[in-house]
């Protein structure tokens, strides 16, 4: 076992635990209740993504960011569109595509939701030293970036697992 392996061996259990934490349905139910909104989780995920993007996105872009497949997004957009939470407009640059944007109503919903969840995070990290908080943000950003790159490569079949030149 080389030291590099030792350094990352413990990562899998940590990330699995984080995954189970964030997948807790009960938690989401509490969040939407506190926020006073009524949406299922994938629908809210779409709203969060649109809000974070700060510009209208194509259906395909949303699917990529959710790491899901197109039809899944379409189905939720249909529901969200009927409720006037999002709107779809033609993409001026490509007549095949459509741009998805939050309506004012949708903006209010995602605002209330993120306020609640960010409040939880703030409370959970309240006792942390400032340095640790900023380190976490920086390392988490790099981790997701590097894992995305690695996983994309693995999924593409190049499997750069072994020698890692």
Partner DNA sequence: TATTGTTATACTCTATAACTATA
Partner DNA sequence: TATAGTTATAGAGTATAACAATA
Q: Does 145 bind DNA (CB under 7 A)?
A: no
Decide which of DNA, its own copies, none touches 9; Cβ closer than 5 to 8 Å per partner kind: its own copies
- Closest approach, Cβ 42 to DNA, in A, equals 4
Which residues on adjacent β-strands are paired with residue 141?
Answer: none
Q: Does 78 bind DNA (CB under 7 A)?
A: yes
How many other CB atoms are found less than 10 A from the CB of residue 103? 15
Q: Does 33 bind DNA (CB under 7 A)?
A: no
Name the strands in the sheet holding 94-102, side by side, starting at the edge strand that comes first in the sequence.
Answer: 57-58, 94-102, 86-91
**DSSP 8-state class, residue 56:** -
Decide which of DNA, its own copies, none touches 155; Cβ closer than 5 to 8 Å per partner kind: its own copies
Contacts with its own copies by CB under 8 A lie at 4-5, 7-24, 26-27, 30, 34, 45, 48, 52, 65-68, 114, 116-126, 128, 130, 132-137, 139-144, 146-151, 154-155, 159-162, 164
**In whole angstroms, what is the distance from residue 163 CA to residue 165 CA?**
6
- Which of 95, 131 has the CB closer to DNA? 95
**In whole angstroms, what is the distance from residue 66 CA to residue 151 CA?**
15
Q: Does 80 bind DNA (CB under 7 A)?
A: no
Q: Does 152 bind DNA (CB under 7 A)?
A: no
**In whole angstroms, what is the distance from residue 128 CA to residue 105 CA?**
35
Q: Does 97 bind DNA (CB under 7 A)?
A: yes
- Closest approach, Cβ 118 to its own copies, in A, equals 6
- Which of 36, 60 has the CB closer to DNA? 60
**In whole angstroms, what is the distance from residue 19 CA to residue 32 CA?**
20
**In whole angstroms, what is the distance from residue 110 CA to residue 51 CA?**
7
CA 77 to chain CA mean position, Å: 16
CA 18 to chain CA mean position, Å: 14
> Which positions lie near DNA, rule CB under 7 A?
23-26, 28, 40-42, 58-61, 67-75, 77-78, 88, 91, 94-98
């Amino acid at each position: 076992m080389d030291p590099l392996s030792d350094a990352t061996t413990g990562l899998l259990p940590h990330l699995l635990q984080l995954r189970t934490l964030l997948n807790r349905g009960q938690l989401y139910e509490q969040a939407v209740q506190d926020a006073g909104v009524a949406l299922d989780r994938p629908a809210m995920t779409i709203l969060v993504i649109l809000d974070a993007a700060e510009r209208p996105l194509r259906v395909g872009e949303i699917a990529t960011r959710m790491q899901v497949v197109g039809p899944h997004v379409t189905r939720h957009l249909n529901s969200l569109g009927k409720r006037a939470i999002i709107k779809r407009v033609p993409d001026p640059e490509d007549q095949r595509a459509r741009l998805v944007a939050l309506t004012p109503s949708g903006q209010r919903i995602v605002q209330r939701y993120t306020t609640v969840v960010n409040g939880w995070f703030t409370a959970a990290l309240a006792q942390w030293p400032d340095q640790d908080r900023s380190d976490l943000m920086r390392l988490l950003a790099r981790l997701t970036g590097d894992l995305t790159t690695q996983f994309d490569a693995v999924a593409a079949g190049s499997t750069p697992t072994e020698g890692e030149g």
